[in-house]
Amino acid sequence: MSNSFYQKSHMAHLNQLKDLAPEQLQAFASFNEAVLKEGALTKKEKEIIAVAIAHVTECPYCIDSHTRNAKAEGASLEELTEAVFVVAGIEAGGAVTHSTHMHGAKDAEAGDALYLRSNLKQLGNLSKYAPEGFKGYAGFNTAAMKAGKLSVKFKEIIAVAVAHGTQCPYCIEIHTQNADKEGATNEELSEAVLVTSALLAGGAYAHMANMIESYGE
């Protein structure tokens, strides 16, 4: 029995899946392969997105494998770092945009619909009641999304993928519109979202190594 939940050696347990659930394993492998192959987005771009989403799911196995894959496809550490800062910005933004519900909860006249596009008009309340913190958030978000080793367009594509991972409808709305303005195509955005889907499934898949380890103790 290991004292750590996360040992690379645990991944060997996944070899048992071909006997435990062969049909599901094959379907997952086909899904993953189809999503990550070259398309409107390059394999390099998809692996950069995969590294970003792995930081959303916080799966160390996925971070390890997709960082290695991204490096093999030519991604630099600077590019990967910028991609993960996009994740940080979107996750921060999810909390910020959902603050509109907090203010709505205190409004006796608020309607029954929790998710309205018009809710974003209440973001000014966060700036009003916590101006220094909001200014800090705004500065961080701007820095995370500006062009660097990665273009603004690609960062917005990553942001749309991340927003689907965090399931923030406000973030999906804002960053889809931003990506569209930057020239991102429906094909690029759709492929990016499917990378998110595969990584969410992959986090559960990889953690079956822990399940098998625990079952055998």
Six token digits for residue 89: 């910005």
Six token digits for residue 130: 């916590």
Return the CATH class of domain 41-110+117-216: mainly alpha
Question: Quick one: pLDDT at residue 116?
Answer: 79
Q: What is the pTM of this model?
A: 0.92
Neighbouring C-beta atoms of residue 151, cutoff 10 Å:
12
Query: With 80 as the cut, is the pLDDT of residue 114 above it?
Result: no
Compute the CA torsion angle 47, 53, 57, 61 (nearest 10 deg).
10
Please choose, from the candidates 119, 120, 117, 182, the residue with its C-alpha nearest in 3D space to the C-alpha of residue 156: 182
Question: Quick one: pLDDT at residue 75?
Answer: 98
Distance between CA 181 and CA 174 in Å, rounded?
A: 11
Going by pLDDT thresholds of 50, 70 and 90, the confidence category of residue 13 is very high
CB neighbour burial string for 32-45, b if at least 16 within 10 angstroms, e if fewer: beebbeebbbebbb
Going by pLDDT thresholds of 50, 70 and 90, the confidence category of residue 1 is low
Question: Quick one: pLDDT at residue 111?
Answer: 74
Question: Quick one: pLDDT at residue 6?
Answer: 80
Going by pLDDT thresholds of 50, 70 and 90, the confidence category of residue 2 is low
Question: Quick one: pLDDT at residue 121?
Answer: 80
pLDDT digits (tens, 9 = 90+) for 122-178: 778 888 999 999 999 999 999 999 999 999 999 999 999 999 999 999 999 999 999
Higher pLDDT among residues 49 and 119, named by residue = 49
Query: With 80 as the cut, is the pLDDT of residue 106 above it?
Result: no
Distance between CA 162 and CA 140 in Å, rounded?
A: 17
Going by pLDDT thresholds of 50, 70 and 90, the confidence category of residue 109 is confident
